[in-house]
Amino acid sequence: MKYYDKLIFELSKPGRIGYSLPQTCSKCKGTDAIPAGLLRSNAPKLPEVSEVDVVRHYTNLSQMNFGVDTGFYPLGSCTMKYNPKINEEIAAMPAFNAIHPLQKDVPGVDAVYEGMDKALAAITGMKHFTFKPCAGAHGELTGLMIIREYHMSRGDTKRTRIIVPDSAHGTNPASAAVCGLDVVVVKSNANGLVDVEDLKPLLDDTIAGIMMTNPNTLGLFEKDIRQIADLVHAAGGLLYYDGANMNPLIGTVRPGDMGFDVMHLNLHKSFSTPHGGGGPGSGPVGVCEKLVPFLGVNVSGFNGNFGVILRAYAYILMLGRENVKLCGKLATLGANYIKESLKDCYKLPIPTVCKHEFVFDGLINDGAREGKEGAATLDVAKRLLDFGFHAPTIYFPLLFHQAIMIEPTETEPKETLDEFIEVMRKIAAEAAQDPDILHGAPHTTPISRPDETTAARNPILKYWDA
Amino acid sequence: MSKIVEGLKYSDTHEWVKVEGNIAIIGVTDFAQKEMGEITYVDCPDVDDEVEKGGEFGALESVKAASDLFSPVSGTVVEVNEAVVDDPKLVNDDAFENWIIKVQMSEASELDDLMDASAYKAFIKE
């Protein structure tokens, strides 16, 4: 592949034009209609390029990208499952994609929202959903606002604290802080689960609720969840379920049955819509019956990212009630298969059955010896790139110093899992033999290790001064 | 091996305290800076801010992680080390030389809850 790393500004030639726009017509006022205070005095220094320059630039860049359409992407906690193309076909239908956001009375759209509400309620055990939140963390904030509204409506104004396990995703305490709640941390026990004994003394009449994911960030099922739910409810608090780890449970276990009152789902994780830079997110929030009156909290002027909701609905209908159950089972099987196949090379801190993902704590033999540093988790991740795999999540969760978090998802065939296992074993053998092979990795990518420290300390945020 | 300085007090969240009269000079340990990797940002409170024992007073960011700073004592911030704010690398260069804040303590007996050098050494070995 041709190496390409230009910025579009570097292609700019003064006077080069892609499209010539017509002169302002005599009937309209053009920029004269804009108040002087809002008009900029200098023209923006946009790159001056032709159409073919732009097309080649972005096509070349896109070919240097790595996505789930190019290879295995075992990014723990992110559920990078394949995005079926039928979703795109349906979302691209003019009947859907030509609707104006302010258009009213579109029965087809209403039917999609209603169908989705029913499907998600059936999958999660919640009563109803709001589709306004545009991402997972947006959903968290919405859910917490609902919890706060609920307590306030009862005159229960003291409940300003929320419990978050030490293994939680960083967005949980962040969302709580944005919502004006104080975060109280509950510890994990030696098995990586919420310590019920540590939880008990935290529960009083200032607790608004607890935020949990189940399975938790270590990929372990919180077996005591019913007991936790009873304790929190008895203390007057509510349970929030972070849907980040919903994938292994779909069709098998429902957060509503575990005792959760509010939850969000990441449609871009569990329901196969594009993820990360690949597309906008969607974090619908579901609630139990008694919270339905609070579902209208205003977090967005529109009803979420409709195109994303439509894709997820297509996915659910395509699988159907029977087959949707297979997703979680196969995701769990795949994760356990990789875990068991590698645990003689990589440290497995908690050796129980995992759900859809698991965490290793670095290499068993990192090759450290007199005068030579061992290979760290970062080096393993970088070396994986040489073999054409996206690196797993590393140094998260923070509970383990050399954490590497692997989530294969159900969409990978066994051959891919076997290939990944073989490469991970090869990397472990290389580390034992000579860790410098890993220290220098990746060797085959267009650039090896970007200088992230300089980029963070001295960021250059614009190409030229405008 | 991480450096540990005798005569300082240590918290279980890896801050060190040097006591000068009623002033607590607070920084992070060499172990903490090593775990963080190359630090890119130091977030500090303002002078005259109140800090609470065990409460967060700022944060460190590195290319690897962001980590809150917890105050080992309660009191009032009397000085902030602008040098580390301007050049976070100083914390990596020498975590014990480059303190982060100075606090006028309101409850000096809180120091008794902290570890001494040998206890901290044992703590980070775990």
Band of residue A48 on the pLDDT scale cut at 50, 70, 90:
very high
CB contact under 8 A, B41 and A456: yes
pLDDT at site A277 = 62
Domain annotation covers residue B124: no
Query: A93 with A99: CB under 8 angstroms?
Result: no
Residues 6+ apart with CB under 8 A from A254: A123, A124, A125
> Given this model, what pLDDT does residue A239 score?
98
pLDDT range class, residue A282, cuts 50, 70, 90: very high
Angle at A278 between CA A132 and CA A250, to 5 degrees: 60
User: B33 near B91, Cβ under 8 Å?
Assistant: yes
Q: Is the pLDDT of residue A24 over 80?
A: no
pLDDT higher than threshold 80 for residue A429: yes
More confident residue, B39 or A446: B39
> Mean pLDDT score of chain A, rounded to an integer?
93
Query: Which residue of B1, B13, B40, B87 is the best one to mutate when testing the A interface, meaning the one whose CB has the most A CBs within 10 A?
Result: B40
In whole angstroms, what is the distance from residue A33 CA to residue A22 CA? Answer: 18
A258-276 residue pLDDT tens: 999 999 999 999 999 998 6
- Residue A167 is predicted with a pLDDT of 84
How far is A298 from A287, CA to CA, in rounded Å?
15
Mean pLDDT by 10 residues, chain B (126 residues): 91 96 96 91 95 94 88 96 95 96 95 95 88
The fraction of chain A above a pLDDT of 90, given in percent, is 78
Highest mean pLDDT among A39-43, A136-140, A447-451: A136-140
Confidence class for position A399, pLDDT limits 50, 70, 90: confident
In chain B, which residues touch A (CB < 8 A)?
Answer: 35, 38, 40-41, 61, 63-66, 88-89
Q: Is residue B22 part of a domain?
A: yes
Binary contact (B63, A452; C-beta < 8 A): yes
* Topology classification of domain A85-320: Aspartate Aminotransferase; domain 2 (3.40.640)
- Give how far A396 is from chain B: nearest CA, Å: 9
Model pLDDT, residue A278: 55
Query: What is the rounded end-to-end Cα distance, in angstroms, of chain B?
Result: 13
CB of B102 closer than 8 Å to CB of B26: yes
Whether A279 has a pLDDT exceeding 70, the answer reads no
- Its pTM stands at 0.86
Three-state DSSP string of chain A: CCCCCCCHHHHCCCCCCCCCCCCCCCCCCHHHHCCHHHCCCCCCCCCCCCHHHHHHHHHHHHHCCCCCCCCCCCECCCCCCCCCHHHHHHHCCHHHHCCCCCCCCCHHHHHHHHHHHHHHHHHHCCCEEECCCCCHHHHHHHHHHHHHHHHHHCCCCCCCEEEEECCCCCHHHHHHHHCCCEEEEECECCCCCECHHHHHHHCCCCEEEEEECCCCCCCCCCCCHHHHHHHHHHCCCEEEEEHHHCHHHCCCCCHHHHCCCEEECCHHHHCCCCCHHHCCCCCCEEECHHHHHHCCCCCCCCCCCHHHHHHHHHHHHHHHHHHHHHHHHHHHHHHHHHHHHHCCCECCCCCCCCCCCEEEECECCCCCECCECCCCHHHHHHHHHHCCCCCCEECCCCCCCCEEEECCCCCCCHHHHHHHHHHHHHHHHHHHHCCHHHHCCCCCCCCCCCCHHHHHHCCCCCCCCC
Q: pLDDT band at residue A31, thresholds of 50, 70 and 90?
A: confident
Residues A418-441: what's their mean pLDDT?
A: 97
Does the structure show a pLDDT above 70 at A350? yes
How far, in Å, CA of A237 to CA of A231, rounded?
Answer: 9
Q: What is the mean pLDDT of residues A381-400?
A: 93
CATH number at residue B44: 2.40.50.100
Cβ distance of B63 and A398 shorter than 8 Å: no
How many domains does chain B contain in total? Answer: 1
In this prediction, residue A371 has a pLDDT band, given cuts at 50, 70 and 90, of confident
Q: A327-454 sits in which CATH class? A: alpha beta
- For residue A406, the Cα-to-chain-centroid distance in whole angstroms is 14
Which two three-digit tokens encode residue B82?
Answer: 């602008």
- For chain A, give every residue range classified as CATH 3.90.1150.10: 327-454
Nearest beta carbon to residue A401 from set B35, B40, B88: B35
- ipTM of predicted complex: 0.70
Give the contacts of B94 (CB within 8 A, at least 6 positions apart): none
Compute the residue count for chain B.
Answer: 126
For residue B53, give its domain range.
9-108
pLDDT in tens, A79-104: 999 999 999 999 999 999 999 989 98
Choosing among A379, A452, A458, which should be mutated to test the B contact, i.e. which has the most B CBs within 10 A?
A452
For A97, residues 6+ apart whose C-beta sits below 8 A from its C-beta are A91, A307
Whether A395 and B88 lie within 8 Å, measured CB to CB: no
| DSSP string for residues in chain B | -----TT-EE-TTSEEEEEETTEEEEEE-HHHHHHH-SEEEEE---TT-EE-TTSEEEEEEESS-EEEEE-SS-EEEEEE-HHHHH-THHHHH-TTTS--EEEEES-GGGGGGSB-HHHHHHHHH-
Q: Do A453 and B35 touch (CB under 8 A)?
A: no
Q: Is A42 on the interface with B (CB under 8 A)?
A: no
Q: CA-CA distance, A34 to A25, in Å (whole number)?
A: 16
Q: Is A452 on the interface with B (CB under 8 A)?
A: yes
Match 């975060």 to its residue by tokens. Answer: A183
Q: Which residue has the higher pLDDT, A32 or A414?
A: A414
Answer yes or no: is B79 within a domain: yes
Whether residue A331 is predicted with pLDDT greater than 60 in this model: the reply is yes
A432: which 2 tokens?
């034992």
Give the Cα separation of B118 and B67 in Å (integer).
24
Whether residues B63 and A456 touch (CB distance < 8 A) is answered with yes
Distance CA B66, CA B78 (A): 25
b vs e for A58-78, b when ≥16 Cβ sit within 10 Å of the residue's Cβ? eeeeeeeeebbeeebbbbbbb
CA distance to partner chain A, nearest, from residue B38 (Å): 7
Pick from B35, B40, B65: CB nearest A456? B40
- What is the pLDDT, as a whole number, of residue B66? 84
Distance, CA of A99 to CA of A239 (rounded, Å): 37
Residue A333 has pLDDT above 80, yes or no: yes
- Given a cut of 80, whether residue A29 has pLDDT beyond it is no
Report pLDDT digits (tens) over A195-229.
999 999 999 999 999 999 999 989 999 999 999 99
What residues in B contact A457, CB-CB < 8 Å? 40, 88-89
Return residue ranges of chain A for CATH 3.40.640.10: 85-320
Chain B residue with minimal CA distance to A394? B64
pLDDT at A169 over 90: no
User: Per the domain annotation, does B89 fall within a domain?
Assistant: yes
pLDDT digits (tens, 9 = 90+) for A305-325: 999 999 999 999 999 999 999
